[in-house]
């Protein structure tokens, strides 16, 4: 019996300054796949099946006919990543804040789930969550 190949996700985000974005996410502990990184794009490795493509705005614009959203003023999506513990949630968000992010909402503890978020240098919203149990 063969194992099915896990489905992968590639989140594509427009960025104003690729070097600043790479430095920001490197400060959070993420690495970049050099095979898919150049002056227009950087492939940030989140896990074996999750990647974030940071694309400079003019390059990103070649993939759509619609105008780009200014994520500092409008919200299009919130990307949520799981964490192994509540402490891991706090560690990652604290790293993001130290690297220049802002925290748009206070931490939320629902008993079965703890989450905090940050807004990155380009205004994109990220939630980091730890789930422990089921909603009651």
Predicted confidence band at 76 (pLDDT cuts at 50, 70, 90)?
confident
| CATH code (residue 107) | 3.10.180.10
Residue 38 lies in a domain: yes
Residue 32 lies in a domain: yes
Residue 4 lies in a domain: no
Query: What is the per-residue pLDDT across 18-58, written as a single tens digit (0 to 9) for each?
Result: 999 999 999 999 999 999 999 999 999 999 999 999 999 99
pTM of the predicted structure, to 2 decimals: 0.88
Tell me the residue range of the domain where 49 lies. 9-131
Instruction: Answer for the pair 119, 100: CB distance below 8 angstroms, yes or no.
Output: no
- Nearest one of 38, 5, 44, 12 to 25, comparing CA atoms: 44
Q: Supply the pLDDT for residue 79.
A: 96
Instruction: Answer for the pair 121, 17: CB distance below 8 angstroms, yes or no.
Output: yes
Instruction: Answer for the pair 46, 30: CB distance below 8 angstroms, yes or no.
Output: yes
The Cα–Cα gap between 104 and 75 comes to 12
Residue 112 lies in a domain: yes
Q: Is the pLDDT confidence value at 2 over 60?
A: no
Q: Supply the pLDDT for residue 34.
A: 97
In the 3-class helix/strand/coil scheme, how is 35-96 assigned residue by residue? HHCCCCEEEEECCCCEEEEEEEHHHHHCCCCCCCCCCCCCCCCEEEEECCCHHHHHHHHHHH
- Let me know how long the chain is: 136
Q: Is the pLDDT confidence value at 5 over 90?
A: no
Structure tokens at 94: 């604290």
Predicted confidence band at 86 (pLDDT cuts at 50, 70, 90)?
very high
Query: What is the per-residue pLDDT across 95-132, written as a single tens digit (0 to 9) for each?
Result: 999 999 999 999 999 999 999 999 999 999 999 999 99
Q: Supply the pLDDT for residue 136.
A: 65
Angle formed at CA 27 by CA 25 and CA 29, multiple of 5 degrees: 80
Instruction: Answer for the pair 77, 125: CB distance below 8 angstroms, yes or no.
Output: yes
Number of domains in the chain: 1
Residue 23 lies in a domain: yes
Residue 136 lies in a domain: no
Q: Is the pLDDT confidence value at 89 over 90?
A: yes
Residue 2 lies in a domain: no
């Amino acid at each position: 019996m063969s194992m099915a190949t896990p489905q992968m996700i590639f989140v594509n985000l427009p960025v104003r300054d690729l070097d600043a974005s790479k430095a920001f996410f490197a400060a959070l502990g993420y690495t970049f796949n050099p095979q898919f990184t150049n002056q227009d794009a950087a492939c940030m490795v989140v896990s074996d099946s999750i990647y974030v493509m940071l694309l400079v705005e003019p390059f990103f614009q070649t993939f759509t006919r619609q105008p780009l959203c200014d994520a500092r003023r409008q919200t299009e999506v919130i990307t949520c990543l799981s964490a192994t513990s509540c402490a891991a949630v706090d560690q990652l968000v604290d790293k993001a804040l130290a690297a220049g992010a802002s925290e748009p909402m206070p931490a939320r503890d629902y008993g079965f789930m703890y989450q905090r978020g940050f807004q990155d240098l380009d205004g994109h919203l990220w939630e980091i969550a730890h789930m422990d149990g089921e909603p009651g």
